[in-house]
Chain A
Amino acid sequence: MSSRMSFFGPGHGACPGCGLTIATRNVLEALEGKCFVANSTGCLEIVSSQYDRSAWGVPYIHSLFENAGAVAAGIDLALKALKRKDEGKVVVFAGDGATADIGIGPLSGMFDRNHDVIYICLDNEAYQNTGNQQSGLTPPGSNTTTTPVGKLLPGKLGKKKDMVSIAVAHGVPYVATASVAFHADIRRKVKKAAEIEGAKYIQIHTPCVTGWGIDGKQTIESARLAYETALYPIVEYENGELIRVRKIKERKPVEEYLKIQRRFRHLFTHPRGKEVIEILQKIADENAARFNLDI
Chain B
Amino acid sequence: MRKVVRGFYSIAYSVKLCRPNVIAAYPITPQTEIVENLASMYANGELGECEYVTAESEFGAASILVGASAAGARTFTATCSQGLILMSEVLINAAGMRLPIVLVNTNRALSAPLSIWNDHQDSMILRDAGLMQIHVESNQEAHDMVPVAFKVAENHKVMLPFMINMDGYKLTHAYEPIDLLDQETIDEFLPSYDPPVYMTTKNPLTFGSYAPPQYYAEFRVVMQNAMDRARKELENAYKEWAEITGRDWGGHVVAENVEDAELVAIAMGSLTGMVRDVVSELRTQGKKVGLLKIRTLRPFPIEEVRKALKNAEKILVFERAVSFGHEGPVGMEVKSACFGLTPEFYSFAVGLGGRDIPREEIVKIIGNVYEGKVEQGFHFGTVKPFEEVIV
Query: In their complex, do chains A and B touch, with some C-beta pair under 8 Å?
Result: yes
A residues in contact (CB < 8 Å) with B: 33-36, 38, 45-46, 49-52, 54, 56-64, 66-67, 70-84, 87-88, 105-106, 108-109, 112-113
By the criterion CB–CB under 8 Å, are B63 and A82 in contact? no
Classify the secondary structure of B's interface with A.
mixed
**In the complex, are the beta carbons of A75 and B68 less than 8 A apart?**
yes
Q: Are A105 and B207 in contact (CB under 8 A)?
A: no
B210 touching A62 by the CB < 8 A rule?
A: yes
Which listed residue (A59, A62, A109) contacts B200, Cβ 8 A? A59
Q: Which of B56, B66, B72 has the most CB of A within 10 A?
A: B56
Residue of A nearest to B97 (CB): A63
A52–chain B nearest beta-carbon distance, Å: 7
Q: Which of B72, B202, B209 gathers most chain A CB within 10 Å?
A: B209
Which residues of the partner chain B approach A34 to less than 8 Å between Cβ atoms?
201
Q: Please give, as numbers and ranges, the residues of chain B lying within 8 Å of A62 by CB-CB distance.
A: 207-210
Do residues B63 and A63 form an inter-chain contact, with CB atoms below 8 A? yes
Chain B interface bracket (under 10, 10 to 19, 20 to 34, 35 or more): 35 or more
In the complex, whether B35 has a CB less than 8 A from a CB of chain A is no
- A50 and B55 in contact, given A36-B201, A81-B49, A87-B200 (Cβ under 8 angstroms): no
* Residues of B with C-beta under 8 A to A77: 22, 24, 51, 53, 64, 67-68, 73
Q: Write out, one digit per residue, whether chain B residues 204-238 have a CB within 8 A of any chain A CB (1) or not (0).
A: 11111111100100000000000000000000000
> How many Å from the CB of A65 to the closest CB on chain B?
9
18 residue pairs bridging A and B, Cβ less than 8 Å apart: A36-B199, A49-B210, A58-B201, A60-B199, A60-B205, A60-B207, A63-B90, A63-B93, A63-B208, A64-B89, A70-B63, A70-B66, A72-B67, A78-B21, A78-B67, A79-B71, A81-B51, A106-B57
Cα of A36 to Cα of B69 in the assembled complex, Å: 14
> How far does the Cβ of B90 sit from chain A's closest Cβ, in whole Å?
7
Interface status of B271 (Cβ within 8 A of chain A) = no
Known: A74-B73, A109-B55. 7 other contacts (CB 8 A): A36-B201, A60-B206, A62-B208, A62-B210, A70-B56, A71-B63, A74-B63
Q: Residue among A34, A62, A67, A87 with the most chain B CB within 10 A?
A: A67
Q: Quick one: closest A residue to B55, CB to CB?
A: A109
Docked complex: B252-295 residues within 8 A CB-CB of A: none
Q: Does chain A have a CB within 8 A of B70?
A: yes
Interface residues of B in 66-91 (CB under 8 A from A): 66-73, 75, 89-90
Q: Which parts of B185-208 form the interface with A (CB within 8 Å)?
A: 199-208
A80 to B60, CA, bound (A): 18
